[in-house]
Amino acid sequence: MMLEEILKHADEMQATDIHFCPEHDDFKILFRRSGRLNLFTRQSKGNLINRLKIISSLDLSETRRTQEGQFESQINNKKYFIRISIIATQKGEKVALRLLHQDKIRILPELNIPTHLANEISKALLLDSGLFLVCGATGAGKTTTLYACLDSLNNGERAIFTIEDPVEYEVAEYFQCEPQLAIDITPCKLLKSFMRQDPDIILIGELRDAETAQLAIAAALTGHMVFATLHSNSAIDAIHRMQSWQVDFFAFSSVVRLILHQKMQFQSQKPQPLFCGIKPNWQSQNRPKSYQNLTQDINYWDFFESNQED
């Protein structure tokens, strides 16, 4: 089966990921649908992996090291951005594709965020500076949520910069940048460069290390609105991450505006995000004094649960 046929079937079956799993004599093709992997077909190895490497501008001769890339494809008259990851296993190279439909940049009302939490998001988006975190597992829809937030702010009067690895949705009005580690363009160096570009809003695709987190908070302290994602199991876990990275507590507590946590569930085979969030509930006279206060004293936060009554 040709690659185009596989992609066509994946679109028709509303798959979010495709896995090419090597066996000794052939490989299995799995589709992730409704959050679960299902066998689509088996076929001989052929030259499908090499074809994927060519269109993703990856190294054809490399079969031992991990490779990552991306490519665009028209599937059933829809534009897709496709991320590719290749790893070497004992049975051969295993490939994973993430399918991102480019026409699906959502707006906030389409995300089914509970009204009480949507109101808090709207208030946070009116602020001129601060840190807005969206956390959750891979595939939970964090980037979709942040792009919906940016869309509501994109009125032509703000300079919006993004750091993403890779850029998942192209938006004409944004200044979107990808790190290029081969030439030493790291997320931190991009973020430092942004500060000399007079930004209003900065989106960081993922906070992955202490240095990037410190710089993001420094940007928020100097009058910018910073949006970022973070992998964590809960909103409180995001604070634990900041503590483990030894991010300056007083800087973090000064800039944090809202922390959303989301996870994906499936109803009738359709993805349905679940949201909860926490918002600082302190004033200058009763500011918390340590990360321990933030993680152990619930009185410092307003909590917003998915099942909370609107």
pTM of the model: 0.83
pLDDT at 268: 59
Confidence of residue 214 (pLDDT cuts 50, 70, 90): very high
pLDDT at 192: 92
pLDDT in tens, 264-287: 877 655 667 889 999 999 887 788
Confidence of residue 307 (pLDDT cuts 50, 70, 90): low
| Residue-range domain boundaries for the chain | 3-101, 108-304
Is it true that 3-101 and 108-304 share their CATH fold?
A: no
- Tell me how many degrees the CA angle 275-203-164 measures, rounded to the nearest 5: 100
Query: What is the chain's length?
Result: 310
pLDDT in tens, 25-75: 889 999 998 778 999 999 987 788 999 999 999 999 998 899 998 898 989
Mean pLDDT confidence for 211-220: 95
pLDDT in tens, 88-137: 998 899 999 999 887 667 889 888 898 999 999 999 999 999 999 999 98
pLDDT at 105: 75
70 near 81, Cβ under 8 Å? yes
Mean pLDDT confidence for 214-225: 95
pLDDT at 308: 54
pLDDT at 267: 62
**Residue 43 corresponds to which tokens in the numbers above?**
């076929």
pLDDT at 134: 96
Confidence of residue 310 (pLDDT cuts 50, 70, 90): very low
**What DSSP assignment string belongs to the chain?**
--HHHHHHHHHHTT-SEEEEEE-SSEEEEEEEETTEEEEEEEEE-TTHHHHHHHHTT--TT--SS-EEEEEEEEETTEEEEEEEEEEEETTEEEEEEEEEETT----GGGGT--HHHHHHHHHHHT-SSEEEEEEE-TTSSHHHHHHHHHHHH-SSSS-EEEE-SS--S--TTSEEE--BGGGTB-HHHHHHHHTTS--SEEEES---SHHHHHHHHHHHHTT-EEEEEE--SSHHHHHHHHHHTT--HHHHHHHEEEEEEEEEEEETTEEEEEEEEEEE---GGG---SHHHHHH-GGGEEEE-TTS--
- Tell me how many degrees the CA angle 210-213-218 measures, rounded to the nearest 5: 125
Enter the CATH code of domain 108-304.
Answer: 3.40.50.300
3-101 CATH pick, 3.30.450.90, 2.60.300.12, 3.30.70.270, 2.40.30.10: 3.30.450.90
